[in-house]
Structure formats: structure tokens, C-alpha cells
Structure 1
Amino acid sequence: MINTSKHINEECATTRGKCFIDTVYQSDTGVYWCESGAGECSDAVNITVTGGHVILESPVHPVQEGETVTLRCTNKMTSSSNLTTEFYKDDILIGSSSTGNVTIHSVSTSDEGVYKCKISGAGESPDSWLAVREMDPTPTIYSTLQPWTT
């Protein structure tokens, strides 16, 4: 079963935990997760369906603090890798690239937000949410139980 944040439930044929939808539309953009017959749910993922030519490729699952993340901006109308690309976070310009890529080293929760890119002469991508999971601040402590002796 596929669920979205728009409260649309659709049954679809699944094969080995995968679900295929033949035709998608921009209105299908949303948060999706799988739900078993017993009511157990998978992690949610954001899926953006775009009708434009510019696409921002970003992780669909939350990334762990400290990881390196590369965002890639592509133009479906050309295979050129020499693209003048601007990257935005929360509508603020964070940098530009001639390769169409931007890398965030050692991500932190402050990097979480809405990203998009613009390619000169081609347009801009839809917004894409980058979620960052905090590292567990408490280390795991193991103890050894000793039997009592009398």
C-alpha cells in the first residue's frame, strides 16, 4: 500500500517490497511510505514529480550528521556537464557550480532545509527537502553482571 501526506491511499502491485506506478503526475508529489497489513509502517520518503527540465537530485532518506552529501542539478534537455548552476537553500543562494554539483561535507542539522537549483537558460528545479538525522549524543554503555557470592 502506498500512503501520501495528502491522505491518498492507493493499492498497487508489489514485487519483493517494490511498488510500481505506471503514470505519475506533478500532483503525485508528496510523502510516501509502505504499510503492512498488520499496520507496521516503513520510514517516509519525499518524492517530487516534476514536469520541468531542471531536476535536483538529492537523498530521499534522511542523512546522518557528519556524512558527505552531493546535490546534483541536471537538465533533461541536454547531456552537457558544463552547466552554470546556482544552488539555493531556503531561497538563499549558497553557491554556484560549473559542474552542476555541490558537495556538503560533514552535514549538520543546520544544513537541513529546502534546496533547489537554477541552470542558466534552462530554468529552476522544484524544491527538494534535505533531512538530517542527529547523531546519538549518548554513547552506549555496556555493563557486565557478576553473580552474587555468599
Structure 2
Amino acid sequence: MGQTCEVKLLLLISSLCCSTNPAVVTLSPSSSQFFRRDLVSFSCEDDHSLAGWTLRRNTSTGTRKECKDWGRRVASSCVIDSVVPLDSGVYWCESTEGGASNWVNITVTDDPVILQSPVLPQEAGEELTLICKTKTAPFNLSADFYKDGTFIRTTPTGHMTIHLVSKSDEGAYKCDIRGRGESAPAWLFVTGQEVKGGVVLLEPSLTLLVIIHIVVSSPYVLSTLLLVSICRQRPTEKAPPVSLTAPPPGEDEEGLEYDNVDADVTTEHRF
């Protein structure tokens, strides 16, 4: 019985460790803005789940449409060889068990300039580069960059690098190439931990995720604690009854204990 209880406990712990790893939808190239006829590849990344993931999207042409309806499968990816403005919308991964990944929102435009920026939230402390792209050559032109409507700086090649991303870098960015045009705003989101004055601070967004995880996993944690308690209380073998009579002549009396039911008499132990 003890081994059975241990096996059940291990299975429960294993299910808890492996059931909280949602997939992440990624894009190549990583950008929220694309020109018409660009090639875009979507993937569902998950190293811990055996569940099958299906890429879906919501656009003006339909909702919850699978890859087979708008792209082609290449290994574990879904590829659109030549995007059009009608491909603009929300994309995400969904498992056969009902789980869902993060979602990404892309825009396909006929405008002459776009801003290529990471479509997924960036971890604080990482390095990233924003690229101001033109639809026609020459491509590496001088560009002005703006954040939340405020001018930041001008770069000669249209590339602006942020070496150590922090929460203060979060916001809406856009770029302008003189004589070509201005891009639409692209949002940059920052998550993770920041170090300020030698103290590691937890970002509010990450704190919220931790709280949600604790609330969701609470029933499973309580179940685990209850099963551990049962395993500890369950005896490994049936204890022999205590005899209130003397053993038969000739038998070894060592180790026997006699309980006197009279409260006025001290309990006697024979050795």
C-alpha cells in the first residue's frame, strides 16, 4: 500500500509540473508590420506538452480559421508566402485540450514605410533593434525615430538599437523617412526584472502572472498536501493487539507491555 501511495503522489506532482507550460506563437520575421507580398512564417513553440497545437486566426474574412484555410504547413510552421492586407489580424495557438497561447496582432499595409519591431514582449535587460523599412530601394535610408509622439533621434541607416531595454522604453514607436513617408505606430512591451540601485524589482505585469498562477494551481497544491498527509498517516503493517494476560509458560516475555486499567496503579513494564 505504501508503494501505491508513493506512485500516486509522484504522478500527481508530475502532472502539476508539466501541465502549466502553454505554447508561444512566434513569427519570422519578428514584426507586427508587413508589406504586401512579404513572406511570413508562424510557429507554435512548446517543449513540455504532448498536446497537439493548431494555429488559428481572427481577421476580417473569418474567425478561428485554421492554417489550412489561409496558409501552408511546413514542418511545424504555417507559412503565408505572400501576405495581403486581408491577412491583418490576431493569430494564436490552440491545443486539442482547449489550452491557448499568447496572441499576436499583425498589420499588412500598402504604405511605403513600416517599422519592424519585436512582436513579442521583450525581457528587461535585453538588446533590440528597431528597423525603419521602405518598400522600394534604396532601403538603408536615414530615418527619424519617435516614441509616444516625441522625437528620439535620427539614424543614418534606419536602424535604432536599444542596448539595455527597461520598463521606461515601453511605448508606441514610429519612424519617418524624409521623402518616403511615415510608418504606423508599433507598440513595444517590456516584461521581466529590472535592477535599480542593486535591488531586483519585479515588474507589476509579472507579479500579476505569478498571482494568477498561484490562484489557478491552489486546488492542485491542496490535493498534493492532502495526499502526502494520507500517505504519512497510513500504517505500513497492522499493529499486533496488546495482550492483557500473561503469556503461556515457556514463552519469552521480553518486550511485552502491560497496561493497567486502574488509574491508581503505575503501569508496569517487564523486561
> TM-score, normalization: structure 1?
0.77
User: Residue 77 of structure 1 aligns with which residue?
Assistant: 136
Runs (4 or more) in structure 1 with deviation over 4 Å come to none
AA paired with 1:113? G
Distance 1:130 1:4 in 2: 22
CA offset at residue 120 of structure 1? Answer: 0.5
AA paired with 2:65? E
User: Residue 47 of structure 1 aligns with which residue?
Assistant: 106
Equivalent residues of 1:56, 1:73 under 8 A apart: yes
Query: Is 2:56 the counterpart of 1:2?
Result: yes
CA offset at residue 107 of structure 1? Answer: 0.8
Distance 2:66 2:132 in 1: 32
CA offset at residue 41 of structure 1? Answer: 1.6
Distance 1:99 1:51 in 2: 22
Pairs within 5 Å for 1:103-114: 103-114=161-172
- The match for 1:87 among 145, 148, 163 is 145
- Relative contact order, CA 8 A, sep 6+: which one is greater? 1
Query: Is 2:119 the counterpart of 1:60?
Result: yes
Query: Is 2:176 the counterpart of 1:121?
Result: no
State which drifts further: 8-17 or 111-120: 8-17
Distance 2:59 2:173 in 1: 20
Distance 1:127 1:26 in 2: 17
SS at match of 2:67: coil
User: Residue 265 of structure 2 aligns with which residue?
Assistant: none
Equivalent residues of 2:146, 2:174 under 8 A apart: yes
Equivalent residues of 1:87, 1:96 under 8 A apart: yes
Over the aligned positions, Cα root-mean-square deviation in angstroms equals: 2.4
Give the total of aligned pairs.
Answer: 137
Equivalent residues of 2:91, 2:105 under 8 A apart: yes
- The match for 1:16 among 60, 63, 75 is 75
Change in Cα spacing, 1:107 to 1:5, as seen in structure 2 (3 Å) is farther
Give the greater-gyration-radius structure (CA): 2
Distance 2:168 2:58 in 1: 26
Change in Cα spacing, 1:48 to 1:40, as seen in structure 2 (3 Å) is same
- Where in structure 2 are there 5+ consecutive unaligned residues? 1-54, 194-199, 203-271
Give CA-to-partner distance per residue, 1:98-124, whole Å, 9 cap, x none: 110111121111211111111110011
- Where in structure 1 are there 5+ consecutive unaligned residues? 139-150
The percentage of aligned residue pairs carrying the same residue is 46
CA offset at residue 59 of structure 1? Answer: 0.9
Distance 1:137 1:80 in 2: 40
CA offset at residue 27 of structure 1? Answer: 4.8
Query: Is 2:88 the counterpart of 1:33?
Result: no
Greater fraction helix = 2
Distance 1:22 1:80 in 2: 21
AA paired with 2:57? N
Equivalent residues of 2:57, 2:66 under 8 A apart: no
